[in-house]
Amino acid sequence: MTDTDPFLLLKSLSRLYSGKAKQLPAEKEISETQTVVCFSLLGENLAIALEELAELLELPNCTRLPRVKRWVRGVANVRGRLLPVMDFAEFLGGRLRTAPKLQRILVVELGNMYVGLTVDQVHGMRRMKVDDYRKSISKVPKILSPYVEGGFKTEQEDWMLIRPVKLLQDKQFLQVAA
């Protein structure tokens, strides 16, 4: 074979550039995640599974209703559908801590139940590693414990997982008449 032989030329080029080639990226560990919406209420970090949330709204104009408990803010017209809006913090015996501009409504729909829960602030949607989920977590405030089912323990913060089905089955929550 001669110096101009294509095979030898390719072989020499291969040797020349193979030493300078970058390695393939290391294999990343892929872990299962759960998408949640993180929010704060009464100074606590809470999360709700995305699939349990119908939608997220800014505070709508509410029409007050007579003879209902104080934590019932009223009803709002959301695209032609009446949404009962509840002050979640006041239902729990506390008060919302942020300015109304930051407050949001978590809309939950379960069967024929359609309700909006006012919370202090929404921190956004996050993908939590399923491995970070703990069935029981410490330091759950007593007022939240009936509605919390475990939580996510991350390096930065812990997020208690609220289960809206537990809230919508609570007899106290369903008794809105004053």
Digit-coded pLDDT (tens) for 98-132: 999 999 999 999 989 999 999 999 999 999 999 98
Digit-coded pLDDT (tens) for 84-103: 999 999 999 999 999 999 99
CATH of 33-174 among 2.40.50.180, 1.20.870.10, 1.25.40.10, 3.40.50.2000: 2.40.50.180
DSSP designation for 99? -
Calpha distance 159→48 (Å, rounded): 9
pLDDT score at 173: 93
- Of 149, 39, 165, 142, the C-alpha closest to 92 is 142
Domain boundaries, the chain: 33-174
Calpha distance 106→50 (Å, rounded): 11
pLDDT band at 2 (very low <50, low <70, confident <90, very high): low
Calpha distance 67→81 (Å, rounded): 22
Global pTM reads 0.79
Tell me the Ramachandran region of residue 89: left when phi exceeds 0, alpha when psi lies from -120 to 50, beta otherwise.
alpha
Residue 12 has pLDDT above 90, yes or no: no
Calpha distance 83→77 (Å, rounded): 6
H helices of the chain, in order, are 6-18, 88-91, 164-168, 171-174
